């Protein structure tokens, strides 16, 4: 146990922070992408909704590892990207590329969860809001989105765990995060099970904290009091 | 300068990718079959077992689901690679660690991962079967194994089908991670091709398309199975 604590723990904790940073950025951008794609799916323009459908189908139908390699080794080595300052900033760095790939991947899954929520709101509610004199944006902000997010939240919070697990692939494009350091420790020492246990507990800690936060959001911010209608008031 | 699609296919990388895809399907099928067995066993233990047994099934599913798949693959690989090279020396089979061993690690990893998800799938399926049917079957004189074979299993298969489709699609994509411990499947074939031809964009896009096609075809098979099995099951439900 002593060599484990002396050698492995500081290294793994260092990787933990990298994992956390990549994961949180990926979740942030992925959620925005997911919301955008879900709204596009419900657009009355055929081409717009088809584009969002194609995005979510392609990214959900192929492995994250392929997407990551395609971005980092494929697009990242194109001449046009190398000579474009902003694109080169994004694609030259493994961590930024990993954030992009995981955000694109989990955005595709999140868009399905959010779309389900948006579609669960009865048309009559939206018609009523419009008839009430709300603009389309007001109706979305005050009625459609608050009702939809309650429905979508359980499925959405599952995607948070998948996004955190996805960060482990960043180690394959030379970003040393938790799994990368764990792999190095496993291949160099005999502390294989011990390394797995510590790294696993660190992942478990991130996931349980995230799910706990999601639970709090669901039960405190999104609470509904169906009986007295005060939940509806809160939404306004 | 850049090789075209025709150059790459002409240089034999098309065949290499297809052979890799064959290995991907093989690993997925073997892995998920074992995983389904784990799922049925886990679901049975979770519904029938005592608190200790139920607790250990819950710990297994919690750990495997919240830890990245890649970390589990590394644990299995580095945890057994010493054993494998020992066996290679003993059997005087030099390329054991580079050929058969990654296949075994891959199958075991997919089995453990898909097993943790299918426990819940089969638990739901067990719950969906009306206990009255079991009582009726016992009452007409069937013994336990007859009851399992004639009443429970046929319906279990039907109720588990939609969930099993999800587990299968995830398992198929998880096999790409086994390329990182040296198994030559679709992903690894693409990496080798990308290095040799210096056309990573094309090779990874081709491999991605193959994964997508395998996934779409199996999706169609699951839909067909649901349609074919559906009418009989619905008649029985009435």
- Let me know if residue B117 belongs to a domain: yes
- Which among B70, B79, B200 has the least Cβ separation from residue A193? B79
**Where residue B231 falls among pLDDT bands split at 50, 70, 90?**
low
Nearest CA in chain A to B178: A65
In angstroms, rounded to a whole number, what is the distance separating the alpha carbons of residues B208 and B193? 14
Question: Distances from the Cα of B209 to the Cαs of A82, A108, B151, B187, B189, in angstroms?
Answer: 26, 17, 41, 11, 14
Q: What is the pLDDT of residue B190?
A: 94
Better-scored residue on pLDDT, B109 or B5:
B109
Flag whether the pTM goes above 0.90.
Answer: no
Q: Is A165 on the interface with B (CB under 8 A)?
A: yes
Mean pLDDT calculated for residue range A159-172: 95
Which structural domain, as residue segments, surrounds residue A225? 2-235
Q: What is the pLDDT of residue B234?
A: 56
Residue A230 pLDDT greater than 50, yes or no: no
Per-residue pLDDT of A82-119, as tens digits, reads: 888 888 888 889 999 999 999 999 999 999 999 999 99
The answer to whether the CB atoms of A61 and B78 lie below 8 A apart is no
CA distance B46 to chain A (A): 22
Q: What is the pLDDT of residue A3?
A: 66
Better-scored residue on pLDDT, A10 or B95:
A10
The answer to whether the CB atoms of A75 and B68 lie below 8 A apart is no
CB interface of A with B, residues 36-75, below 8 Å: 58, 61-67, 69-70, 73-75
Closest CA to B122 of B36, B201, B191: B36
- Let me know if residue B205 belongs to a domain: no
A75 DSSP 8-state letter: G
- Kindly provide the ipTM of the predicted complex, given to two decimals: 0.88
- Which among A74, A167, A203 has the least Cβ separation from residue B67? A203
Q: CB–CB of A160/A212 below 8 Å?
A: no
**Where residue A55 falls among pLDDT bands split at 50, 70, 90?**
very high
Mean pLDDT calculated for residue range B9-38: 92
Nearest CA in chain A to B179: A65
Tokens of A188: 């160099």
Q: Specify the CATH number for the domain of residue A179.
A: 1.10.3720.10
Q: Is B194 on the interface with A (CB under 8 A)?
A: yes
Q: What is the pLDDT of residue B230?
A: 65
Residue A234 pLDDT greater than 60, yes or no: no
The answer to whether the CB atoms of A200 and B179 lie below 8 A apart is no
Q: What is the pLDDT of residue B189?
A: 94
The gap between the terminal CA atoms of chain A, to the nearest Å, is 56
**Where residue A31 falls among pLDDT bands split at 50, 70, 90?**
very high
Q: Is B204 on the interface with A (CB under 8 A)?
A: yes
Residues from chain A contacting residue B62 (CB–CB below 8 Å) = 204
Closest CA to B214 of A65, A163, A63, A112: A63
The 3-state secondary structure of chain B, one letter per residue: CCCCHHHHHHCCHHHHHHHHHHHHHHHHHHHHHHHHHHHHHHHHHHHHCCHHHHHHHHHHHHHHHHCCHHHHHHHHHHHHHHHHHHHHHHHCCHHHCCCHHHHHHHHHHHHHHHHHHHHHHHHHHHHHCCHHHHHHHHHCCCCHHHHHHHHHHHHHHHHHHHHHHHHHHHHHHHHHHHHHHCCCCHHHHHHHHHHHHCCHHHHHHHHHHHHHHHHHHHHHHHHHHHHHHHHHHHHHHC
The answer to whether the CB atoms of B68 and A203 lie below 8 A apart is yes
Q: Is B78 on the interface with A (CB under 8 A)?
A: yes
The answer to whether the CB atoms of B70 and A199 lie below 8 A apart is no
In angstroms, rounded to a whole number, what is the distance separating the alpha carbons of residues A137 and A144? 10
- A53-84 b/e with 16+ CB inside 10 Å = b? eebbeebbbbbbbbbbbbbbbbbbeeeebeee
The total domain count for chain B is 1
The total domain count for chain A is 1
Q: What is the pLDDT of residue B148?
A: 85
Q: What is the pLDDT of residue B236?
A: 52
CB interface of A with B, residues 119-138, below 8 Å: none
Percent of chain A with pLDDT over 70: 92
Q: Specify the CATH number for the domain of residue B81.
A: 1.10.3720.10
Q: What is the pLDDT of residue B222?
A: 92
Residues from chain A contacting residue B191 (CB–CB below 8 Å) = 69
Residue A69 pLDDT greater than 90, yes or no: yes
Percent of chain B with pLDDT over 90: 58
Q: What is the pLDDT of residue A4?
A: 65
Q: What is the pLDDT of residue A2?
A: 62
In angstroms, rounded to a whole number, what is the distance separating the alpha carbons of residues A126 and A123? 5
Mean pLDDT calculated for residue range A140-144: 91
Q: What is the pLDDT of residue B152?
A: 86
The answer to whether the CB atoms of A196 and B71 lie below 8 A apart is yes
Residues from chain B contacting residue A187 (CB–CB below 8 Å) = 78
Q: CB–CB of B164/B118 below 8 Å?
A: yes
Mean predicted lDDT score pLDDT of chain A: 89
Which structural domain, as residue segments, surrounds residue B38? 25-189
- Let me know if residue B32 belongs to a domain: yes
């Amino acid at each position: 146990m002593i060599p484990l604590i002396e050698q492995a723990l500081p290294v793994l904790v260092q990787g933990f922070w990298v994992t956390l940073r990549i994961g949180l950025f990926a979740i942030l951008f992925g959620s925005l992408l997911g919301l955008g794609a879900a709204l596009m799916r419900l657009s009355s323009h055929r081409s717009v909704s088809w584009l969002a459908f194609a995005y979510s189908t392609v990214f959900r139908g192929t492995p994250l590892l392929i997407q990551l390699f395609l971005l980092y080794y494929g697009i990242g080595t194109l001449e046009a990207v190398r000579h474009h300052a902003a694109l080169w900033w994004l694609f030259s760095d493994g961590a930024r590329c990993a954030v992009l790939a995981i955000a694109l991947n989990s955005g595709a899954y999140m868009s399905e969860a959010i779309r389900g929520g948006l579609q669960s709101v009865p048309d009559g509610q939206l018609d009523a809001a419009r008839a009430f004199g709300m603009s389309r944006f007001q109706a979305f902000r005050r009625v459609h989105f608050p009702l939809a997010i309650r429905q979508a939240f359980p499925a959405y919070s599952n995607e948070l765990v998948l996004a955190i697990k996805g960060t482990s692939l960043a180690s394959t494009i030379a970003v040393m995060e938790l799994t990368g350091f764990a792999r190095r420790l496993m291949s160099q020492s005999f502390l294989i099970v011990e390394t797995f246990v510590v790294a696993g507990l660190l992942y478990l800690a991130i996931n349980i904290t995230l799910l706990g936060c999601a639970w709090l959001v669901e039960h405190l911010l999104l609470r509904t009091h169906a009986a007295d209608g005060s939940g509806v008031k809160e939404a306004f | 300068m850049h090789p075209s699609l025709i150059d790459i296919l002409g240089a034999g990388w098309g065949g290499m990718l297809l052979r890799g895809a064959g290995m991907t399907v093989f690993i997925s099928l073997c892995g998920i079959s074992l995983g389904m067995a784990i799922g049925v066993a886990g679901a049975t233990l979770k519904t029938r077992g005592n608190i200790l047994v139920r607790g250990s099934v819950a710990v297994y599913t919690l750990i495997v689901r919240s830890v990245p798949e890649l970390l589990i693959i590394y644990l299995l690989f580095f945890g057994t690679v010493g054993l494998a090279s020992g066996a290679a020396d003993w059997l005087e089979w030099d390329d054991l660690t580079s050929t058969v061993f990654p296949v075994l690690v891959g199958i075991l990893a997919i089995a453990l991962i898909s097993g943790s998800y299918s426990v819940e799938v089969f638990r739901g399926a067990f719950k969906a079967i009306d206990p009255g049917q079991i009582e009726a079957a016992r009452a007409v004189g069937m013994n336990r194994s007859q009851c399992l074979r004639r009443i429970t299993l046929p319906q279990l298969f039907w109720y588990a089908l939609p969930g099993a489709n999800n587990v299968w699609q995830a398992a198929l994509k998880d096999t790409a991670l086994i390329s990182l411990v040296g198994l030559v499947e679709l992903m690894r074939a693409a990496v080798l091709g990308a290095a040799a031809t210096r056309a990573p964009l094309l090779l990874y896009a081709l491999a991605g398309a193959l994964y997508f096609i395998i996934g779409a075809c199996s999706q169609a098979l699951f839909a067909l199975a649901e349609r074919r099995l559906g009418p009989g099951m619905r008649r029985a439900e009435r």
